[in-house]
Amino acid sequence: MKGFICIILVFLLFQGHAQNMTKQDRQYLLQLQDSMKQSNTQLLQGINFSDRYQADSVFTRMLVRALRTKHSFEFAFDSLLSISRLSAPDSSFRIFTWQLLVNENTIRQHGAIQIRTADGTLRLYPLIDRSDVTNAPADTIANHLGWIGAIYYKIILHTYQGHSYYTLLGFDENNIRSDKKIIEVLQFDQNGPVFGNRCFEMGTKGAETKMARYIMEFKKQSGPRLTYDDQLQMIVMEHLISETNEPNKKWTLIGDGDYEGFQWVNGKWVYTEKVFNQMTPEGQAPIPNKILDEKGKLDESKLKGVPKD
Where in 77-177 does DSSP place strands (E)? 84-87, 93-103, 106-115, 124-128, 142-143, 151-160, 163-172
Residue (of 124, 131, 123) closest to 99 by Cα position:
131
Q: Find out whether 79 and 33 touch, Cβ atoms under 8 Å.
A: yes
- φ, ψ of residue 147 in degrees (nearest 5): -65, 140
- Residue spans per domain, the chain: 9-128, 150-278
Residues 6+ apart with CB under 8 A from 263: 233, 234, 235, 269, 270, 272
pLDDT tens readout for residues 120-177: 999 999 999 999 999 999 999 999 999 999 999 999 999 999 999 999 999 999 999 9
Q: What is the mean pLDDT of the chain?
A: 86
pLDDT digit string, tens, across residues 180-201: 999 999 999 999 999 999 999 9
